[in-house]
């Protein structure tokens, strides 16, 4: 298993705490699920999954207050054959948003392939495709940090580059690990399993536990 690194940055980011959904309040650091979402935007196939090992902070967390327009009480059924009109003025609401300004992170990750047999994908092929796409700035869709409104940029960090995190430490507490459990293979409800872990930032680095470990708590 090889570990690769990708640097991501943008103007704003919001990694919402689950207990602050009405008035969104961001974590001080990127969550593992948001990091996996950035990697999936660059290269994704259902035959493998990205595993996040650690997230390095290259900028101190700076919170900024924003006001965001949202649609409240709207449920869209993708399987419905009839399209119901939506009157924006009747369901629009403004909510306060505490986001991060000018965030910059380095994501350390590796690929985990489900089937390494002859019919499955090879781990070397997954890594080479990811490295090639990241070096040329290719992606399936524009990656974002926490919310689609906060798009971000990325670049591949070469193995000989030295990453120096900021001197920042904080006990964050229970953080969202992921909303999809890849260890429950074959279970159609696996992607609906909220998971949490006790997050601690030490010297600008967030260490992410492995899937299925005792540190990861399932809701």
Contacts of residue 84, defined as CB under 8 A and 6 or more positions apart, other chains included, come to none
- Nearest of 106, 108, 107, 98 to residue 28 by alpha carbon: 98
- Classify residue 182: in a domain, yes or no: no
Q: Angle at the Cα of 154 (from 101 to 145), degrees rounded to 5?
A: 45
Q: What is the pLDDT of residues 149-180, one digit of tens each?
A: 999 999 999 989 888 999 999 999 999 888 77
- Kindly tell me the sign of the dihedral angle through the C-alpha atoms of 146, 147, 149, 151: positive
Share of the chain above pLDDT 70, in %: 82
For residue 163, tell me if it sits in a domain. Answer: yes
Q: What is the residue range of 77's domain?
A: 4-173+198-210
Tally of structural domains, the chain: 1
Residue 218 placed within a domain? no
The bridge status of strand 48-57 relative to strand 216-218 is unpaired
The answer to whether position 94 is within a domain reads yes
Name residues whose C-beta falls within 8 Å of residue 78's C-beta, 6 or more positions apart in sequence.
none
Interatomic CA distance for residues 185 and 182, integer angstroms: 6
User: Which is it for strands 24-25 and 92-101: parallel, antiparallel or unpaired?
Assistant: parallel
| 11: in domain | yes
pTM for the complete prediction?
0.84
Q: Is 32 left (phi over 0), alpha (psi -120 to 50) or beta?
A: alpha
> What is the tens place of the pLDDT at every residue in 1-27?
578 999 999 999 999 888 876 788 999
Find the range with the poorest average confidence among 42-51, 145-154, 210-219: 210-219
* Burial class of residue 47 in the structure, from the number of CB atoms within 10 Å of its CB (0-12 exposed, 13-18 middle, 19+ buried): middle
Higher pLDDT, 88 or 204: 204
Residue for token pair 């680095």: 205
φ, ψ of residue 46 to 5 degrees: the values are -70, -10
191 assigned to some structural domain: no
Which uninterrupted H or E stretch holds 127?
helix 123-135
| pLDDT higher than threshold 60 for residue 104 | yes
pLDDT in tens, 29-39: 999 999 999 99
CATH number, domain of 104, equals 3.30.70.2660
102 within some domain:
yes
Over the stretch 180-190, which tens digit does the pLDDT of each residue have?
765 555 554 45
**Which residue in the block uniquely carries the two structure tokens 């259902």?**
46
Residue 217 domain-assigned? no
The model's pLDDT over 111-133, given as tens digits with 9 standing for 90+, comes to 887 665 544 467 788 888 899 99
DSSP structure string for 103-146? -EEEEEEEEEES--SSSS--HHHHHHHHHHHHHTT--SS--BSS
């Amino acid at each position: 298993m090889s570990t690769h690194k990708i640097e991501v940055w943008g103007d704003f980011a919001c990694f919402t705490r689950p207990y602050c959904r009405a008035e969104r309040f961001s974590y001080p650091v990127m969550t593992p699920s948001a990091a996996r979402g950035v990697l999936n935007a660059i290269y994704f196939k259902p035959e493998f999954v990205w595993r996040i090992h650690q997230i390095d902070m290259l900028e101190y967390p700076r919170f900024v207050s924003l006001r965001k327009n949202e649609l409240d009480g709207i449920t869209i059924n993708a399987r419905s054959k009839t399209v119901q009109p939506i009157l924006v003025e009747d369901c629009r609401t403004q909510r306060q948003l505490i986001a991060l300004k000018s965030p910059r992170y380095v994501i350390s990750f590796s690929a985990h392939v489900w089937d390494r047999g002859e019919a499955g994908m090879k781990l070397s092929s997954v890594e080479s495709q990811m490295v090639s796409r990241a070096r040329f700035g290719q992606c399936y869709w524009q990656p974002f940090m926490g919310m689609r409104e906060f798009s971000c940029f990325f670049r591949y960090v070469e193995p000989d580059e030295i990453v120096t995190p900021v001197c920042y430490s904080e006990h964050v507490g229970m953080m969202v690990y992921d909303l999809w459990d890849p260890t429950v293979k074959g279970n159609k409800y696996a992607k609906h399993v909220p998971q949490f872990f006790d997050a601690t930032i030490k010297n600008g680095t967030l260490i992410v536990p492995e899937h299925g470990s005792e540190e990861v708590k399932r809701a």
